[in-house]
Amino acid sequence: MAGALQNAKRDLPKIADEEYESRYGQVFGVSGPVVIAENMTGAAMYELVRVGHDEVVGEVIRIEADKATIQVYEETSGVTVGDPVLRTGKPLSVELGPGLMGNIVDGIQRPLRSIQEASKSIYIPRGINTEALDRSLKWDFTPASFKVGDHISGGDVFGGVYENSLVDNHKIMLPPRALGTITHIAEKGSYAVNVRVYGLLFILRALSHTL
């Protein structure tokens, strides 16, 4: 009896597994750079997706029932019917921050130098994924006049970064929909773009903001 119960528990679908599987659709048809995917219930317009086993970058441009039409921004050769389509739940967007100036990127903000270093090739491999901003570089951050306990909202400038001779004060602003009470302020110093420099408390939920 105990063995049968354990087997039954093992065979029951787990919520985590169902949520994971719900993020995936599958290719229904391919026509050049346009892919139609099915089982895409919950997908949103302009959502970033990864198509095929190489996870090439695409964007949802049309939704009809459980099917989504996807504009793929890389070569689709080799993508076939039944291949997985991963929904990211995020819009196709760009990353802003120190280091963007002077960087040469492709059409979906992948730095060409980083691609070359990662692939050791003069060509851009399909599905390669690189950070838009270099996480290893550090920038001289100077906080604004805010202090712990102050209220801050979207658009407020909470510091600045010296980037180069043309942009000697790259202003760092709070995202548009963020607001709250400051709980942490980084001191003046050198930080990478993914290091927390400000902390907020908003409706009992802690938020962190990087450069």
Which of residues 210 and 145 earns the better pLDDT score? 145
Strands 196-202, 189-191: pairing is: unpaired
- Give phi and psi for 4, each to the nearest 5: -65, -40
**What are the structural domains, with CATH classification, of the chain?**
2-91 (2.40.30.20), 94-133 (no CATH), 139-210 (2.40.50.100)
So what's the pLDDT on residue 2?
A: 46
Placement of tokens 């090739």 in the chain:
121
- Give phi and psi for 20, each to the nearest 5: -65, -45
pLDDT tens digits for range 82-104: 999 999 999 988 888 888 888 88
pLDDT tens digits for range 114-168: 889 888 988 888 888 888 888 888 989 999 888 888 888 888 998 899 888 888 8
